Amino acid sequence: MTRTQGTLLVIGATTLWGLNGSLSKVLLDDALTSTQLTQIRVSGAFALLLLGVLATRPATLRATLGQIVYLVVFGLFGLTAVQLLYFLALERLQIGVALLIEYLAPVLVALYARFVLKDRVGRGLWIGIVLVLVGLALMLDVAGGDVPELAGLAFAFSAAFAYALYILMTDRIKAERPPVATITWGFGVSALFWLIVQPLWSFPFGSLNQSIDLGGNLSGTTVSGWVLVGAVVVFGTVLPFAMLVSSLHALPAARVTLIATFEPVAAALFARLWLGQQLDTVQLLGGALVMAGIVAAELASVHKDAAPAAPP
Q: Residue 211: in which H helix or E strand, if any?
A: strand 211-213
Res 263: pLDDT: 83
Measured CA to CA, the distance from residue 292 to residue 253 in angstroms comes to: 19
CB atoms within 10 A of CB 58: 11
Q: Which has the closest alpha carbon to 119: 127, 128, 110? A: 110
DSSP conformation class of 17: H
| Residue 302 pLDDT greater than 70, yes or no | no
Q: Are 167 and 182 in contact (CB under 8 A)?
A: no
Q: Are 38 and 285 in contact (CB under 8 A)?
A: no
Res 308: pLDDT: 52
Between 309 and 6, residue with greater pLDDT? 6
Residues 6+ apart with CB under 8 A from 275: 22, 25, 26, 95, 215, 216, 217
The residue extents of the domains of the chain are 3-300
Q: Which has the closest alpha carbon to 60: 198, 162, 173? A: 173
Residues 6+ apart with CB under 8 A from 10: 243, 244, 247, 251, 256, 259, 260, 262
Res 189: pLDDT: 95
Window from 56-65, 89-98, 187-196, 244-253 with minimum mean pLDDT? 244-253
Rounded to 5 degrees, what are φ and ψ at 248? Answer: -70, -15
Q: Residue 223: in which H helix or E strand, if any?
A: strand 222-224
Res 106: pLDDT: 78
Q: What mean pLDDT is predicted for residues 88-93?
A: 91
Q: What mean pLDDT is predicted for residues 65-87?
A: 92
pTM of the predicted model, to two decimals? 0.85
Question: With pLDDT > 90 as the criterion, what percentage of the chain qualifies?
Answer: 40
Res 44: pLDDT: 95
Q: Which has the closest alpha carbon to 80: 112, 115, 110, 41? A: 41
| Residue 96 pLDDT greater than 60, yes or no | yes
| Residue 298 pLDDT greater than 50, yes or no | yes
Window from 204-213, 221-230, 284-293 with minimum mean pLDDT? 284-293
For the CA atoms of 234, 238, 244, 245, the dihedral, rounded to the nearest 10 degrees, stands at -150
At 169 the three-state DSSP class reads helix
| Residue 123 pLDDT greater than 80, yes or no | no
Res 304: pLDDT: 47
Rounded to 5 degrees, what are φ and ψ at 217? Answer: -75, -10
Q: Are 151 and 34 in contact (CB under 8 A)?
A: no
| Residue 187 pLDDT greater than 70, yes or no | yes
Res 144: pLDDT: 53
Sorting pLDDT into bands at 50, 70 and 90, what band is 229? very high
Task: Give helix 281-300 / helix 124-139 axis angle, nearest 10°.
Answer: 160
Q: Position 164: which residue type?
A: A
Tell me: the pLDDT tens digits for 168-179? Answer: 887 777 778 888
Window from 59-73, 100-114, 244-258 with minimum mean pLDDT? 244-258
What's the mean per-residue pLDDT of the chain?
85
Tell me: the pLDDT tens digits for 8-39? Answer: 898 898 899 989 999 999 999 988 999 999 99
Sorting pLDDT into bands at 50, 70 and 90, what band is 311? low
